[in-house]
C-alpha cells in the first residue's frame, strides 16, 4: 500500500513506558513528535477467527470521530511496524503529555476524595458523580459536561471499556493548573473482536446487528451494581445532565462526514468499511436519535404554557 507510514525505523524513546493490558506499546519519535505506538493484542484467546483484534483500527476511527464532533481527542495515525519479520498494523497516538504535562487519570483523582467509601477504580455512577462534584482540579460543571458528552459518543461507538483509568486531566507543573485531557484509549469501540464472519452476519442479518445494539456492548459504568445498557439508560432520560449532553452532542454527529472518513481509512477491507459505516449508523438511528427525539419532546412539553383552568 503506497503512502502509508512505516514506523519500524523510527527512533525509540526509552524514557517513556506505558501500562495497560490491551496490547504492547512503545514510544517512538516521528516527524519530531513523540508518539505511543499501540500494537494489536493477540486474538488467540478470543472466541473469533482473528489472530489479532482490530483494536488499533477502532482506536484510530473512534478517536477521529470524537474530534469530528468537537470533543478534543488524541491525534492518531495508522501505520506499520515490523516485528520478527511480521508486519503489524499499529496505531500511533501523539503523546499529549509531551513537554510539561502529567496525565492524572480519573482513578487517581477519585482516590483523593477521602470521604468516599469506594476506591479509585469503582465505576458506580453515583460515586463518579460524587467525585466530579467534590474534586478540586477542574471546575465541576465543566467536568460534568465533559463526562456526559464523552458518554454519549461512547454510546454511539459502542465503547465497552471507558473505566476510570482511561480518561482524566492534564496537570501543568509550571502553572500548577489542571485541564481536561484529550479523549484517549478508544480501542474498545466498534466491536474490535468482530471477525469477518461476524461482520458479514451483521450486514445481512438484522437480529445479529440488533443484538450488538440493544444488548451489548454495555458501558463499563455501573448503575446499582450492573453495567449500564446504553439504550435503556439513554431512553430512561432520568439523568438531567445526560439529557443535556444528548441535546448538545447529537446535532453535531454528521454521519456523511463519518462515512467519508471511514472510506479513506487505510489497511481495512471493503467489508470492514461497510460494517463500520452500518454499525455506527445503526447505533445513531436506533439509540441516539430516539433518545434525542424523546428529550426534545419532553423539553417542548415543559415549555408549552398550561392552558388548563
Q: Mean of the pLDDT values across residues 125-132?
A: 94
**114 — pLDDT class (breaks 50, 70, 90):** confident
DSSP state of 306: -
pLDDT for position 309: 44
For residue 44, the model assigns a pLDDT of 54
Per-residue pLDDT at 48 exceeds 60: no
pLDDT surpasses 90 at 59: yes
* Peptide bond before residue 152 is cis, with ω within 30 degrees of 0: no
Q: What is the pLDDT of residue 127?
A: 93
Query: Is pLDDT of 16 > 60?
Result: yes
User: What's the pLDDT at 90?
Assistant: 97
DSSP, collapsed to helix, strand or coil, labels residue 53 as: coil
Domains identified in the chain and CATH numbers: 11-94 (3.30.200.120)
Three-point CA angle 285, 187, 239, nearest 5°:
50
Query: Could you tell me which of 171, 159, 175, 295 has the C-alpha nearest to residue 239?
Result: 295
CA distance 134 to 151: 20
Neighbours of 172 (CB within 10 A): 13
Residues linked to residue 200 through DSSP beta bridges, in sequence order: none
Amino acid at each position: 500500500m503506497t503512502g502509508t507510514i512505516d514506523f519500524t525505523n523510527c527512533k525509540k524513546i526509552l524514557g517513556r513506558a506505558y501500562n495497560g493490558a490491551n496490547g504492547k506499546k512503545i514510544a517512538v519519535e516521528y516527524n519530531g513528535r513523540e508518539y505511543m505506538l499501540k500494537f494489536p493484542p493477540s486474538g488467540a484467546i478470543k472466541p473469533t477467527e482473528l489472530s489479532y483484534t482490530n483494536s488499533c483500527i477502532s482506536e484510530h476511527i473512534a478517536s477521529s470521530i470524537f474530534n469530528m464532533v468537537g470533543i478534543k481527542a488524541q491525534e492518531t495515525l495508522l501505520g506499520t511496524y515490523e516485528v520478527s519479520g511480521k508486519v503489524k498494523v499499529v496505531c500511533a497516538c501523539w503523546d499529549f503529555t509531551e513537554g510539561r504535562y502529567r496525565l492524572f487519570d480519573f482513578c487517581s483523582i477519585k482516590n483523593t476524595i477521602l470521604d468516599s467509601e469506594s476506591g479509585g477504580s469503582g465505576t458506580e455512577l453515583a460515586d463518579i458523580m460524587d467525585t466530579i462534584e467534590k474534586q478540586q482540579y477542574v471546575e465541576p460543571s465543566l467536568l460534568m459536561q465533559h463526562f456526559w458528552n464523552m458518554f454519549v459518543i461512547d454510546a454511539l461507538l459502542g465503547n465497552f471499556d471507558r473505566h476510570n483509568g482511561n480518561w482524566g486531566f492534564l496537570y501543568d507543573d509550571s502553572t500548577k493548573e489542571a485541564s481536561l485531557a484529550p479523549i484517549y484509549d478508544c480501542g474498545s469501540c466498534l466491536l474490535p473482536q468482530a471477525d469477518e464472519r461476524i461482520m458479514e452476519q451483521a450486514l445481512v442479518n438484522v437480529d445479529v446487528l440488533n443484538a450488538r445494539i440493544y444488548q451489548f456492548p454495555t458501558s463499563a459504568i455501573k448503575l446499582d451494581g450492573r453495567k449500564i445498557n446504553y439504550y435503556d439508560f439513554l431512553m430512561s432520560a432520568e439523568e438531567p445532565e445526560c439529557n443535556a449532553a444528548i441535546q448538545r452532542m447529537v446535532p453535531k454527529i454528521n454521519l456523511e462526514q463519518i462515512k467519508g472518513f471511514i472510506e479513506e481509512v487505510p489497511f481495512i477491507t471493503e467489508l470492514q468499511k461497510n460494517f463500520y459505516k452500518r454499525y455506527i449508523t445503526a447505533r445513531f438511528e436506533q439509540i441516539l436519535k430516539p433518545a434525542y427525539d424523546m428529550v426534545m419532546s419532553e423539553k417542548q412539553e415543559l415549555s408549552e404554557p398550561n392552558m388548563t383552568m
